[in-house]
Amino acid sequence: MKPNFDLKGKTALVTGATHGLGMAMAKALALSGANLVINGHTPSKMEAAFENYTNAGIRVHPYLFNVSDEIAVNNSISKIESEVGPIDILVNNAGLIQRTPALEMNPSDFRKIIDIDLVSPFIVSQRVAKSMISRKKGGKIINICSMMSELGRDTVSAYAAAKGGLKMLTRNLATEWAKYNIQVNGIGPGYFATDQTAPIRVNGHPFNDFIIDRTPAGRWGNPEDLGGVAVFLASEASNFINGQVIYVDGGILATIGKPHGE
């Protein structure tokens, strides 16, 4: 039988979909047939995003809310459900990074990163799963993890702690909700060319050369490189995949790397 990757008739909510990887994944879902709801929290970014999607021929339903505020999340999801329809696919993509050495990291900043990158996916997933369970039609939850779900790096202690936690949250929610035919999985992007990595991607910057050397594929990822896996994990083709994180990293996690200069 031909595997079914078609998302027609499904409604997808992608958080943090006003730019970058979230936008690329959201477009891939919409182009595969999904009815697309996007979340953001900055009105001006949302306006620009709306224009971007519209110019790409994609119809979107934009909703502004803060994913770490459970009251706002509950109200907004209820609004989406009544105005657009029940959510079949949730992509927890909204996230934040702060690059500060651990010795200088302010605990309140550390908490803020954990709140956005780890607590928020919990809050949004819980609310969306409650509706999925009462509808009895299953669903898909996709958490956007990171290389930092597996590896440490100088300056990203809070981000790595949150993304490592998000991998385990993925496994745990997959465990609890598999019986409702809800598949919870993750995507772990490697190093991608987005605004988020712009400060470390400058030509001649040692980190830029380091990443290209460290990646067997020899390049930064393009946001479009994530489309296929997002569609796969959102579709019926992945109905027996529970609690996995699929890394899309050009081979970084497959290798120890190579000696300097080779």
213: partner contacted, choices Ca ion, ligand GCO, none (Cβ within 5-8 A by kind): Ca ion
Task: Assign 3-class secondary structure to 114-179.
Answer: HHHHHHHHHHHHHHHHHHHHHHCCCEEEEEECCHHHCCCCCCCHHHHHHHHHHHHHHHHHHHHHHH
Instruction: Give me the residue label for tokens 């019926």.
Output: 236
Choice between 140 and 167, CB closer to ligand GCO:
167
Copy the structure tokens of residue 252.
């970084």
Annotated catalytic residues are 159
Q: Per rule CB under 5 A, is residue 70 in the interface with Ca ion?
A: no
Map residue 249 onto helix, strand or coil. Answer: coil
| C-alpha–C-alpha distance, residues 75 and 127, integer Å | 10
97: partner contacted, choices ligand GCO, Ca ion, none (Cβ within 5-8 A by kind): ligand GCO
Tell me how crowded residue 194 is: count the other CB atoms within 10 A of its CB. 19
In order, the DSSP letters of 195-248 are TTTGGG--TT-HHHHHHHHHSTT-SPBPGGGGHHHHHHHHSGGGTT--S-EEEE
| C-alpha–C-alpha distance, residues 26 and 29, integer Å | 5
Q: How far is the CB of 258 from Ca ion (least distance, A)?
A: 9
Choice between 80 and 156, CB closer to ligand GCO:
156
173: partner contacted, choices ligand GCO, Ca ion, none (Cβ within 5-8 A by kind): none
Binding site for ligand GCO (CB under 6 A): 97, 99, 146-148, 153, 156, 189-191, 196-197, 200
Residue count, binding to Ca ion (CB under 5 A): 1
Choice between 227 and 250, CB closer to ligand GCO:
250
Q: Between 197 and 226, how does the x/- string for binding to Ca ion read (CB under 5 A)?
A: ----------------x-------------
Q: How far is the CB of 221 from Ca ion (least distance, A)?
A: 18
Choice between 44 and 203, CB closer to ligand GCO:
203
Residues in touch with Ca ion (CB under 5 A): 213
